[in-house]
Amino acid sequence: MESSNGWTFSADEISLQGLAKTIHSVSRKRVFDAVRPGLEADGNPRDRAHGIAEDLESVCPADSDPSQVEQVLYDLWELLIAVVKVIPPEHQWHEILVGALENLTARDGRIIQLDEGPKNLWKDLPQFEKSLKEHWADPTTDPRNFNLDRGKRWESLNSFVARLMSKGLGSYELFAVKPMRDALEESVARKELAECRLRTAMQWIIYSCEALFRSIANPSDNAQAGRNVSVGSLYAGEPGLSRSRWEFWKMRFSEIEKEKEGPLKAKIKEVIAMMEAAEHQPDP
């Protein structure tokens, strides 16, 4: 099966069997057992997401020992991120997992004390961003060790987080800026590296275009997003999110689209159209 972003994958590639063999921690096994049935089951995606949320909540119930909550959350997010990485970007499982987290955040939880301060379980998705930062490493920045599998996992992770941003389940502007910069503000000679960066950046437009543009149109909400991330060599503007940077990204997508053929070319055209449409969306 070939997806519109140029991936070719089989049913085996979205099987969780391989991941299951790598899990040795009892607590992570509990998380895996909470997630897997809902993903692999048939039926309504919303019901499956609800079931996963129920099972995840049972992994860290309201009456759990406060001294153990932080470790349980760490194992939960580490396992969830591992699962996300093996799911192709356009696969339905992403939407089911996002739905599960959306379901969790709507539940009445309790206030837990963490090193970063008091957080609401589950509304704040405590510790998730911390775990995410540990995995936010673009494999194309290490060309000698880059391979297609690492590229796919990076693209999948970005696709998932972009979906979370579109649902308002956290502030991920800083996470978005880095892949957009690497894909559109730098020149990379090696084709597989450049295309991995391109497909990864496209995920942010495909799944969170309107949310990303709102962060630019309403800078008071995210004025500091990306301020500490340097701009690429092709972009002469300032760091952070801005309308001029958005326009530059759109221009670069147009330039790259002219060089491509087939499904990838068509998808880039869709991305450009999404960016243009987002510019005319009314404020929520």
Average pLDDT over residues 218-242: 76
Res 34 pLDDT > 50 = yes
* Structure confidence at residue 213 (pLDDT): 95
Average pLDDT over residues 112-116: 82
Give every CB contact of residue 68 below 8 A, 6+ residues apart in sequence.
none
In tens, the pLDDT along 187-216 reads: 999 999 999 999 999 999 999 999 999 988
pLDDT-based confidence at residue 7 (cuts at 50, 70, 90): very low
* Structure confidence at residue 50 (pLDDT): 97
Average pLDDT over residues 232-245: 93
Instruction: Give how far the C-alpha of residue 92 lies from the chain's centroid of Cα atoms, to the nearest Å.
Output: 14
* Structure confidence at residue 1 (pLDDT): 38
Average pLDDT over residues 82-90: 95
Residues of the chain above pLDDT 70, percent:
90
Contact 135, 93 (CB under 8 A): no
pLDDT-based confidence at residue 141 (cuts at 50, 70, 90): very high
Domain ranges of the chain: 1-135, 144-284
* Structure confidence at residue 187 (pLDDT): 95
pLDDT-based confidence at residue 105 (cuts at 50, 70, 90): very high
Average pLDDT over residues 74-90: 95
Residues of the chain above pLDDT 90, percent:
73
SS3 10: coil
Q: What is the residue-averaged pLDDT of the chain?
A: 89
pLDDT-based confidence at residue 227 (cuts at 50, 70, 90): low
The model carries a pTM of 0.92
In tens, the pLDDT along 145-173 reads: 999 999 999 999 999 999 999 999 999 99
Contact 103, 51 (CB under 8 A): no
In tens, the pLDDT along 121-133 reads: 999 999 999 999 9
Res 4 pLDDT > 50 = no
Other C-beta atoms within 10 Å of 8: how many? 9
- If you search the block for the tokens 């309403």, which residue do you land on? 218
SS3 2: strand
* Structure confidence at residue 229 (pLDDT): 73
Sign of the CA dihedral running 167, 171, 173, 176: negative
In 3D space, the residue among 182, 169, 181, 87 whose CA is nearest the CA of residue 129 turns out to be 169
Give every CB contact of residue 199 below 8 A, 6+ residues apart in sequence.
5, 6, 89, 155, 264
